Amino acid sequence: MSDRHHAEKRGRWGETLASLWLMLRGWRIVGRRVKTRRGEIDLVARRGGTVAFVEVKTRGTERNLLRSIDEYRLRRVIAAAEAVAPRYAGPRDAIRIDVMLVRPWSLPIHLPNVWHG
């Protein structure tokens, strides 16, 4: 199996785990791997009047996980979220960007509302 294929498989596993974690906390997953011209959104989740566009990062170690999210990646998620927000959120809904950090043998780390730009 190539490194790229392995990374893709690990990423899908992380997205599944992140979606289960969110659902256990009352979120409903309304979109997965939403593609736009500006980028991809891993998960779109809704709870009440809040819609979260969620970037999921899956790495083997905590050190690599902490390095996996940066301003460039967040800007791509934000641009993609702006493109599809009307599809998932109404005019009165709160919209936010969340990050889920996933690694083997650990509980996922949910970082809500990470973008304040």
Domain at 40, CATH number? 3.40.1350.10
Asked whether residue 68 is assigned to any structural domain, the reply reads yes
Asked whether residue 117 is assigned to any structural domain, the reply reads no
Number of structural domains (the chain) is 1
Asked whether residue 34 is assigned to any structural domain, the reply reads yes
Residue 43: closest CA among 65, 27, 59: 27
Q: Which domain holds residue 99?
A: 3-111
Asked whether residue 18 is assigned to any structural domain, the reply reads yes
Asked whether residue 35 is assigned to any structural domain, the reply reads yes
In this predicted structure, the answer to whether residue 108 has a pLDDT above a threshold of 80 is yes
Asked whether residue 116 is assigned to any structural domain, the reply reads no
**pLDDT value at position 24?**
97
pTM of the model: 0.90
Q: What's the number of CA atoms in the CB half-sphere (13 Å) around residue 109?
A: 15
pLDDT level of residue 117 (50, 70, 90 thresholds): low
Asked whether residue 92 is assigned to any structural domain, the reply reads yes
pLDDT tens digits, residue range 41-87? 999 999 999 999 999 998 887 777 777 778 888 899 999 999 999 99
Q: Where are the beta strands (DSSP E) in the chain?
A: 28-36, 39-47, 50-58, 94-102, 109-111
